Amino acid sequence: MAGGQLAGTEAFLQGKPCPKCGHVRTAADTNPAWQCPKCQVAYAKVRPATASATSAASRLVAGGRELAAEAGADYSVYTLIAANLFSAAVAVYFNMPVRALVLVYWLQSLFIGLSFFVRILCLRAFTVNRNPDGFERVPGKLGANVSAAFSFLGAYALAHAFYLTFLWEPKAGPGTSIIAISACALAFALNHLFSLFHNISLDSKATPNLNAMLFIPIVRILPMHIMVMTGFALTNEEETGRTFGLMVLIALKTGADVLMHVVEHHELRKNPLDR
């Protein structure tokens, strides 16, 4: 046993620090070779945890690299960034009111919901949850996606109608705002139309989980809307502070928008809930 202990602790005897407290054994230490002289932990008990943490960190790094690689190969990411940059340029050029820019992002959110509505309608092979509390999946019945799509559309529209009550202004805005809002909305509409055709093609080659597709749009837009409302609260509608406010809002929203777009595509490609 002593030989095995010494073999297992050879690295520590040679000066490797204890994985728990960092103490380095010296010739004067009289503790057993399997035990740290300072914290008295058994080296063997700490190693599995250390290995587990290292493994988790490695998986996290690998996942980040995979996500970055997929994002680099996904052209819809670039069109989304372009749409956001175009909206930023239009907003600054026309000195668009912050409320008007938030209305543009509200319209983009509608486009995201409509794209998922169409995707769900186009499903041919899909799975559903066997029960609400479990992750077991079973093949879905053909046609069940149609009623689910319309239910999703109704709930999504109702939520956005409520959201609109905080943005709508009875008085008409300046003509430049109407032009700017229309131009920005068109840019986002074209982006999500491009993404829609791309995703329909991917869905036809897999069996996406219907329950996940009903839930993901909320996860997709929630961080974006949190950033929008945070930026909205930080902005100043006075002429002197409007440009700065627009830039704060655009930066917060674009970062959340692109990140969630990448995560959404990553997860739906893997069909993670279908495993």
Q: Tell me the per-residue pLDDT of 31-41, one tens digit each, with 9 for 90 and over.
A: 787 788 878 77
- pTM higher than 0.85: no
CB 237 within 8 A of CB 174: no
Q: What is the pLDDT of residue 215?
A: 83
9 pLDDT more than 80: no
Beta strands, E only, the chain: 127-129, 137-139
> In 3D, which of 226, 229, 223 has the Cα closest to residue 259?
223
Q: b vs e for 230-264, b when ≥16 Cβ sit within 10 Å of the residue's Cβ?
A: ebbeebeeeeeebeebbebbbebbbebbbebbbbb
- 18 lies in a domain? yes
Q: Could you list the residue range(s) of the whole structural domain that residue 120 is in?
A: 74-274
pLDDT attached to residue 3: 43
Same domain, 78 and 44: no
Looking at the structure, do residues 106 and 182 belong to the same domain, yes or no? yes
Residues 169 and 251 in one domain: yes
| Confidence band for 272, pLDDT divided at 50, 70 and 90 | very low
When divided into structural domains, the chain yields a total of 2
Verify that 19 and 137 share a domain, yes or no.
Answer: no
Q: Are residues 97 and 45 in the same domain?
A: no
What whole-number distance in Å separates Cα of residue 203 and Cα of residue 16? 52
* Lowest-confidence segment of 59-73, 142-156, 230-244 by average pLDDT: 59-73
Same domain, 108 and 244: yes
- Tell me what the pLDDT averaged over the chain comes to: 74
Q: Which tens digit of pLDDT belongs to each residue from 192-240?
A: 898 888 888 878 877 888 888 888 888 777 766 776 666 665 555 555 5
Which band of pLDDT confidence, cut at 50, 70 and 90, is reported for residue 138?
confident
Asked whether residue 63 is assigned to any structural domain, the reply reads no
Q: Are residues 167 and 98 in the same domain?
A: yes
